Each structure stands twice: as C-alpha cells, then as structure tokens.
C-alpha cells in the first residue's frame, strides 16, 4: 500500500511539473494544453461573437467612438437590458436592474455617433452624459452601485466598486460633451475622472503595475478593470481606458491634457510589452489570471477576442506602433475563415509531387531527383533545375515512394539527373524507376561529399555570379534558392572558416565570375573566407528569416511580387523540402519564397518585407499543409492598405 501511495505522489509531482507555467522574456507557456481551448473558441466564435469588422475604424478624438453610432442596435440588444422611463439603460444583476457606468457611457457614445451623422440626438446624448455624472463620487470615480462577483475572486464586490474601464469610457463621453457644449461641469468632471484613473490601487484608485507578471515590468503601469488582491490584468478594460486618456489628452482647455498624454504613452508602452502574454496560440485570453493566480488554464471569453482586435486597430491608428499592428493582424488572422491558395500533401513527397504538377501539366524531357531525407546535396541542384527547365523530385535513399514514382510516370522523362552519391540516393532507387520505363537515361552528379557535389553541379552552369553559402545548414541556401533559379546563379557550399578544396578549384577555374555573394553573417561564413575571394558582397541578417528578406530586397528588381510563395524555413533538419521543391516553380513566375518558422509569431523581418512590398491583392501561396503552415500565418502578412 505504501508503495502505491508513493507511486501516486510521484505521478502527481510529475503532473505538476508537466503543467507548470514558464515565463521568459520572449514566450509564455500556459500550464494547460491550450489547443483544445483554442479549437473550441474558434468553433464558437462565428456564432457567439459580434462582427468585429463593424467596429474597425481609424480613431479620432471626439469622433464616432469605434463606429458605435452605426451599431447601436447591435450593442444594446441583450436580454438583461431594459430602459427606464427616461430612456436610460439599466442592466440586470441578481434580482434587480441597475445603472452601469460602462453601459451608460457606451449608450451615450452610440447616441453621440448618431448625432455626428446628422440625427437630432444631441440633447439625448447630453441627458445620458448627465445621468452618468450622477454615478461619479467626490474622488472622481464612477461607481457600480450593485453587488457583483468577478470570476477570479472568492468574494463579492460590494456596491460602490470602481473600474478603470468605467473611468476611461467616461472620459471619452465627457470629452465629447465638453466639445459640443463648452460646459465647464464636463471639464471639471473629466479632470476628476482622470485623477482617479491614475491613482494607484493602494490609494483607492485603479492604476496598478505589472510586477505580478514579471519583475522586469514592475515599473510599467496598467489600469485595472477589476480590482483584486492579486492583479488579473484584463486586456479589453485596459485598452478602453487608454482610449479615454487619448480623448482627454485632446481636450484643449483641460489643464490635465499633458498628464493624460503622459499616462497614455506609458500605457501604450506597457501594452506593447504584454500583448504576447494574451496570445495562447490561435486565440486570445481575457486576462492574465492564468499566470498571476497560477490557474489551471487561461480564461477565454469568445466575444472579447473580436473586441481585442478592434481596440488594437483603433490604438494602432493613433500611435502607428508596429507591435500593435502586428498583433492586430495576427489576432484577426486567427479567426479569418478565408482559405488561402495552397500546394500540399500528406507528406513532403506528395507536396513535392503536387508542386511538380503545377510546374508542368505535360510531359518533360528531364527531371532532377534529389534526396528528401538530406538537404546537403539537394540544395545545390536548384540552378541546375532552372537550366534544364525542370522540377526537382524527392526520393528516399533506398526506396521510391508512390507519389514520386507516379509523378515520374506522368512526366515520362527521357532523362533523370540524380543528385548525390549512392548514400543520398541508392542504385536500387534508380533500378526501381527503370522498371517503369526502360528507356529512361540516368545521369548521376555526386562527389565524395556535399562540397564536391556542389562543385560538380556548379560547373555545369554558365554564370558571371555565384552564391557562397554555409554548407552545414540549409537555412541560408533556401533564402537564395528562388533567386538562384531565376538568375541561374550556381550555389557553392563552404565551411565556416575555410574554403573546401573543390570550391577553391571552382573559384580558380571560373575566372569569369565577377561577383560572389556571401550569404549569411560572420557566424556562418567567416571574414577569413571573405578575405580570400575578390569582388564579394555579403548579404546576411541576424537570423535565417532576416537573411531571407535581405536577399529578396537585394534582388527585388528581379522579382514579380504579384505572386509570393510561403514555406517553412526551419528549425528541423527536415524542414527544407517544401521550399526546395518550390524554387523551380517560383522561378517560372519570378516569385519570391518567404520563409517563416513553425512558431506562431512571424518574425518582424518577414512582416516588414510583406507590408513594404506586397499589396492586398497579392496572391500568396502556402507550400505545405495547415499543420505546419496554418492559414492565419498567410492571412496575417497580407497588407490591408
């Protein structure tokens, strides 16, 4: 019995370790398997969430607040709502109906939006604004005069509780009321509301710091929608409060406008640093209680994912901050049901065969056969495929898969160029292919190692330029694959600190080469190598993705950007296949291949290239299945303007 108990305790400890939360500077890993939560939320989103597109608009101080004026009927159509005899909205809590400062503020802003459209609603807007003022106490706080319990607390809020969201939305109302009346009561009430908003929780206000999230953020501020002993950092309430600060910073007669601007800027700084924590990989969570309160799983409120999207859009329109825009695009893409053009298969070999089908619908004279298991020899073959105007097909080292053999039958080539020695593709594979067509002629290009193979392939290509690429990783070679194919530039593989003898021989023999492009930074190809070669140009970034986009920018004039291919660029040693297979196809239309990681966040270098060079009608084609390259990655980099 004791043994069983010890075993159970051991299992419990392992389970606790398995579900632990790890917070680093770059990532947050929730202690729960988020994928089930995400899948459930995405399936419910179309039915439960308002159409967030209705609220997408560039934000203007004293303008129609988030398009509320066009959407009043949608915002105020729920069963817990009723209107009093004066037309003021009340919301049911428990057994009674109460005035909620946020509901009053939002209703007031909707009526104001109607006024801006030319409707006769000015007096009604002011009447609601005045009703909102009856909820403001002497400190400047707008009170919720009913009992309520936040799901993360084990106690009830007593009537008279306060919230940063109410303060922020009240500021937006009061700014508009003062704008159209000049009545000092709105100015005074707004200044009091601002003072309360920026009062720390420890002194009775609603402003907190982010120290409970990370010690590195303890000096960053946040405005709390729900006050709790342990902060929860509710996202939508924080962003609503920032809009209120922005509105008040634009009230010219307020002696607090500079204060409002200061705290708005500080709040934006905090927001850009914490958005990553709300992203659980395919959807957003409502707050960060799963971290600060060590909860089992993140809390998802399905409709609020859409709210996060349109609030980010509005704040981006104010600040032009790229971090806000990137998360806006990413979170919007998570729920974008638009299908993307895709070439894929059940595995790399079917994907490869389907790419070949796009390359040509008819038979072809020559094909190149390369390893689908080892990138070393295969990558040098791209310019050779371009020279022969043929696809690259992939095979295993000792067998030929059905997808490749069927594609060979369809293409019915006269010749197959096999890349690499028998360690890469064995004679048995060639014999098996020969059985399907005895007339096929085989040519093998393979040296004793990848460097000699690179030399042998490059020697068959006439060019005045050459790429020099690190041979022990495929990443940088993928970056230049499509350019190599378009321009017919050979790919020479090298070591980090010394040039292999076969490549030295190539350099000595090919005196017509007047430019060597060294791809990658000094960490992969040393300055020592660069010093041994004349007429070099180095193109490298801090990682494979920045190198990829720097290469594309360097040769931008060679590219047609109406079509772009997107493929995985790592990090696995087997992640080269799709981009390699695609290079000859991309060369036909002179299209770039953008590389992205398997992680959910697309690197800034990639989004910079996309936003700077692509159009909203650019045809982006995904290479590979949704499991490795989901739709949201493609949709998130398509520019909107």
> Is residue 434 very low, low, confident or very high in pLDDT (cuts 50, 70, 90)?
very high
593-596 β-sheet, strand order: 341-343, 619-623, 563-568, 593-596
Q: Supply the pTM of this predicted model.
A: 0.85
The per-residue pLDDT for range 251-286, each reduced to its tens digit, is: 998 899 999 999 999 999 999 999 999 999 999 999
DSSP 252-306: TT-TTHHHHHHHHHHHHHHHHHHHHHHB-SSSB-S-SHHHHT--SS----HHHHH
Q: What is the mean pLDDT of residues 567-595?
A: 91
Measured between alpha carbons, how far is 491 from 513 in angstroms, rounded to an integer?
13
Measured between alpha carbons, how far is 345 from 52 in angstroms, rounded to an integer?
34
Question: Which three-class secondary structure state does DSSP give residue 498?
Answer: coil
- Name the residue among 453, 448, 446 with its Cα closest to residue 503: 453
- Residue-level pLDDT at 33: 67
Residue 344 and residue 625 in contact, taking contact as beta carbons nearer than 8 Å: yes
> Is residue 640 very low, low, confident or very high in pLDDT (cuts 50, 70, 90)?
confident
Place of tokens 């700014």: 175
Q: Is the pLDDT of residue 494 over 80?
A: yes
- Residue-level pLDDT at 18: 30
On average, the pLDDT of the chain sits at: 92
The per-residue pLDDT for range 461-472, each reduced to its tens digit, is: 999 999 999 999
> Is residue 9 very low, low, confident or very high in pLDDT (cuts 50, 70, 90)?
very low
The per-residue pLDDT for range 116-172, each reduced to its tens digit, is: 999 999 999 999 999 999 999 999 999 999 999 888 877 889 999 999 999 999 999
Question: Which three-class secondary structure state does DSSP give residue 91?
Answer: strand
The per-residue pLDDT for range 15-63, each reduced to its tens digit, is: 333 333 333 333 444 445 688 999 999 999 999 999 999 999 999 999 9
Q: Is the pLDDT of residue 475 over 90?
A: no
Return the minimum-mean-pLDDT range out of 26-40, 491-505, 509-523.
Answer: 26-40
Residue 612 and residue 553 in contact, taking contact as beta carbons nearer than 8 Å: no
Measured between alpha carbons, how far is 495 from 498 in angstroms, rounded to an integer?
6
Q: What is the mean pLDDT of residues 219-229?
A: 95
Measured between alpha carbons, how far is 239 from 99 in angstroms, rounded to an integer?
22
Domains, the chain: 12-334 (1.50.10), 342-636 (no CATH)
Q: Is the pLDDT of residue 392 over 70?
A: yes
Q: Is the pLDDT of residue 4 over 70?
A: no
- Bridge-partner residues for 415, per DSSP? 366, 441
Token pair recorded at residue 125: 């807007």
Token pair recorded at residue 539: 């193109």
- Residue-level pLDDT at 641: 61
What is the torsional sign of CA 196, 201, 206, 209? Answer: positive
Which percentage of the chain shows pLDDT scores above 90? 84
The per-residue pLDDT for range 284-319, each reduced to its tens digit, is: 999 999 999 887 789 999 999 999 999 999 999 999
Q: Is the pLDDT of residue 574 over 80?
A: no
Name residues whose C-beta falls within 8 Å of residue 346's C-beta, 6 or more positions apart in sequence. Answer: 625
């Amino acid at each position: 019995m004791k043994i069983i108990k010890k075993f159970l305790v051991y299992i419990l400890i392992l389970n606790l370790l398995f579900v632990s939360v790890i917070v680093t500077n770059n990532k947050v890993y929730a202690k729960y398997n988020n994928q089930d939560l995400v899948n459930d939320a995405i399936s419910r989103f179309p039915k439960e969430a308002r159409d967030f597109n209705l609220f997408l608009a560039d934000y203007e101080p004293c303008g129609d607040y988030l398009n509320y004026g066009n959407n009043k009927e949608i915002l105020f159509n729920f069963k817990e709502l009723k209107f009093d005899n004066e037309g003021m909205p009340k919301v049911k809590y428990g057994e009674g109906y109460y005035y909620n400062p946020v509901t009053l503020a939002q209703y007031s802003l909707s009526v104001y939006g109607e006024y801006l459209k030319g409707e006769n609603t000015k007096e009604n807007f002011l009447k609601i604004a005045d009703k909102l003022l009856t909820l403001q106490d002497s400190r400047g706080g707008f009170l919720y005069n009913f009992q309520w319990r936040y799901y993360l607390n084990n106690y009830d809020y007593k009537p008279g509780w306060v919230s940063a969201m109410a303060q922020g939305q009240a500021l937006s109302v009061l700014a508009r009321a003062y704008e159209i009346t000049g009545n000092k009561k709105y100015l005074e009430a707004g200044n009091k509301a601002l003072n309360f908003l920026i009062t720390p929780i420890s002194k009775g206000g609603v402003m907190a710091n982010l120290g409970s999230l990370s010690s590195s953020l303890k000096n960053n501020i946040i405005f709390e929608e729900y006050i709790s002993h342990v902060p929860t950092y509710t996202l939508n309430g924080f962003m609503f409060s920032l809009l209120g600060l922005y509105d008040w910073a634009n009230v010219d007669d307020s002696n607090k406008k500079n204060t409002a601007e200061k705290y708005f800027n500080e709040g934006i700084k905090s927001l850009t640093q914490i958005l990553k924590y709300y992203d659980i990989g395919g959807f957003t969570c409502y707050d960060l209680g799963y971290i600060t309160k060590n909860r089992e799983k993140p809390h998802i409120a399905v409709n609020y994912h859409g709210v996060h999207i349109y609030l980010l859009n509005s704040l981006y329109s104010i600040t032009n901050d790229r971090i806000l825009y990137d998360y806006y695009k990413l979170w919007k893409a998570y729920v974008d049901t638009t299908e993307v053009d895709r070439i894929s298969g059940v595995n790399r070999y079917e994907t490869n065969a389907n790419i070949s089908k796009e390359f040509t619908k008819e038979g072809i004279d020559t094909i190149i056969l390369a390893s689908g298991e080892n990138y070393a020899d295969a990558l040098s073959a791209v310019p050779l495929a371009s020279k022969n105007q043929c696809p690259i097909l992939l095979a295993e080292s000792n067998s030929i898969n059905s997808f490749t053999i069927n594609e060979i039958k369809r293409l019915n080539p006269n010749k197959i160029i096999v890349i690499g020695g028998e360690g890469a593709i064995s004679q048995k594979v060639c014999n098996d292919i020969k059985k399907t067509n005895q007339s096929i002629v085989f040519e093998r290009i393979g040296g004793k190692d990848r460097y000699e193979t690179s030399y042998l392939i490059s020697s068959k290509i006439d060019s005045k330029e050459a790429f020099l690429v690190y041979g022990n990783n495929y990443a940088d070679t993928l970056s230049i694959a499509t350019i190599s194919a378009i321009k017919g530039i050979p790919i020479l593989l090298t070591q980090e600190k010394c040039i292999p003898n076969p490549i030295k021989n190539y350099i000595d023999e090919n005196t017509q080469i007047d430019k060597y492009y060294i791809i990658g930074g000094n960490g992969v190809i040393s300055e020592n190598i660069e010093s041994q070669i004349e007429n070099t140009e180095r193109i490298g970034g801090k990682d494979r993705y920045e190198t990829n986009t720097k290469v594309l920018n360097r040769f931008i004039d060679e590219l047609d950007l109406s079509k772009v291919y997107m493929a995985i660029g790592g990090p696995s040693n087997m992640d080269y296949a799709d981009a390699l297979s695609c290079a000859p196809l991309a060369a036909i239309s002179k299209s770039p291949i953008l590389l992205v990681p398997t992680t959910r966040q697309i690197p800034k270098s990639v989004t910079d290239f996309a936003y700077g060079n692509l159009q909203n009608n650019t045809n982006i084609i995904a290479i590979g299945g949704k499991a490795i390259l989901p739709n949201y990655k493609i949709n998130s980099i398509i520019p909107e303007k």
